[in-house]
Amino acid sequence: MALSIDDRASLDFVLSLRRHWAATVYPRLRADFDAIDPPPPPVNDAAGLAPLVHGLPTYPWFSWLERGSQKMLWRAVSDAVTREGPLPAAPDGPASVEPDPDLVLPTWYTDWDIHLQPGGVWSHELAGRVYEMGARLVMLGENDDYGFHRLFVETAVPAHPYRRIVDMGCGFGKSAWPLKQAFPEAEVIGVDLALPCLELAARRASQRNLAVRFRQADAVATGMEAGSVDLVTSTMFVHEVPADVLPAIFAEASRLLAPGGVLRFLDFQRTGDGLRDLAMIEHGARNNEPFLPPMIAADLPAMAAAAGLVNARWVAFDERSVGRLDSLSWPRRDEWHFPWAVLEAEKPQ
C-alpha cells in the first residue's frame, strides 16, 4: 500500500509509541514492582496483586498508554485505508471464498469492537484491510513478513503428510498461508465469521499463488464432514471466544479430525509471574477482549479431553526465534511481550 507522508508519519508515531510502552514503560513498572519492600507474598491469583500494582507510580502510564496507543493505531490505520479506498476487482487466482449468506453472526461476536477496532473486523468492506494493517502495528512491526506464523507451522505443527487442514478463525489469512506453503499437497481451508477478512485472505493467497479455500462459517459448526481433517489449527483465536462456547470449539475440532489427527492452537497462557499475568488479565479490558481473562483461567486441556482428544497440554512459544518450547516455561525478557503458548492434542487412533 502506497502511503502519503502524513499517513506514514501517523503510523510511525504510533509504532514508536507502542515500542516505548513495551520496551521502556513496562520495564520501569517491573522495577517499581521489584522494589516493593517487603516483597509481596506469592499469590495464586494474579488479580490479588491488583490493589498493590495499581498504586505504583508507573502503572497509570502503562495502563493508559496501552489503551490510548491502541485507539491511535486504529485511527491512523482507518484513515490510511479509507484514503486509499476500495481495491480494484481481484484477478483470478487459485484461492477461493465461500460466503454463507444465511449465516447469523453470534451476538457475542458483534457486540464488541474486538481489539478496539471500530466496527470490528466484519462490519464493512474495508474492515479486513484495516485489520491487516493494524495487526502489523500491534506486533510492533516485527511480523510484517508473517514470520511469526511460519515459525508456528515450522516448530509447533508435526511434519506429517496431511490430506486436509482446517484453520479456525483464520482472519485475513496470515495463519492459513504458511500452512499451504509448508504442506502444498494438503487441502487447506480457512474458516472465519468475517466475510471482509475472508475476501482479503483469498486475494492475498492468490497473490502468493496459494490454492486455499476460505469458508464463512462458525467454528462450532463448520459444516464439513466428520473425520475428514488431519490437522486443526488456530492462532490467536480461542481467547476471542466466550468460555461457555469453547467446549463446542473442541467438540467440533474433535468431530472433524480423523483418527490420529492433530490439534494445535496458538494462544496465551499464565506464566506464574504475578505482575506479567496481571498485566495480561487486565489487557482484556484495555483492549476490548472480554473473553481473554476467562480463557486464561479455564482448563482448556480438560475441555479437549472431554471432547475425546488425548495428550492435551500447553507448551510455551517464543516468537523471537525458537518457536515451540518443550515445557510451559518462558525465557526471561525485560520488555513487555505476550505469553504465547501452544495447546497440543491428538485424536486417538
User: Is 187 contained in some domain?
Assistant: yes
pLDDT at 255: 98
**CA distance linking residue 186 with residue 77, whole number of Å:** 35
User: Is 155 contained in some domain?
Assistant: yes
User: Is 106 contained in some domain?
Assistant: no
User: Is 48 contained in some domain?
Assistant: no
**CA distance linking residue 228 with residue 224, whole number of Å:** 8
Structural domains counted in the chain: 1
What is the grid cell recorded at 314?
500447553
Beta bridge partners, 188, equal: 165, 212
User: Is 193 contained in some domain?
Assistant: yes
User: Is 78 contained in some domain?
Assistant: no
Domain with residue 313: its CATH number is 3.40.50.150
User: Is 233 contained in some domain?
Assistant: yes
pLDDT at 141: 56
| Cα torsion 157, 159, 160, 166: sign | positive
CA angle 79, 100, 89 (to 5 degrees): 45
**CA distance linking residue 301 with residue 237, whole number of Å:** 16
Q: Which domain holds residue 228?
A: 135-346
pLDDT at 150: 94
User: Is 150 contained in some domain?
Assistant: yes
What is the residue-level pLDDT of the chain in tens, covering all 349 positions?
678 899 999 999 999 999 999 999 999 999 999 999 998 877 777 888 999 999 999 999 999 999 999 999 999 999 999 998 889 988 899 999 999 999 999 999 999 999 999 999 999 999 999 999 998 777 655 556 688 899 999 999 999 999 999 999 999 999 999 999 999 999 999 999 999 999 999 999 999 999 999 999 999 999 999 999 999 999 999 999 999 999 999 999 999 999 999 999 999 999 999 999 999 999 999 999 999 999 999 999 999 999 999 999 999 999 988 999 999 999 988 999 999 999 999 999 9
Tens digits of residue pLDDT in 14-59:
999 999 999 999 999 999 999 999 988 777 778 889 999 999 999 9
Tens digits of residue pLDDT in 110-151:
999 999 999 999 999 999 999 999 987 776 555 566 888 999
Cis ω before 38 (30° cut-off from 0): yes
Residue type, 232: V
pLDDT at 46: 87
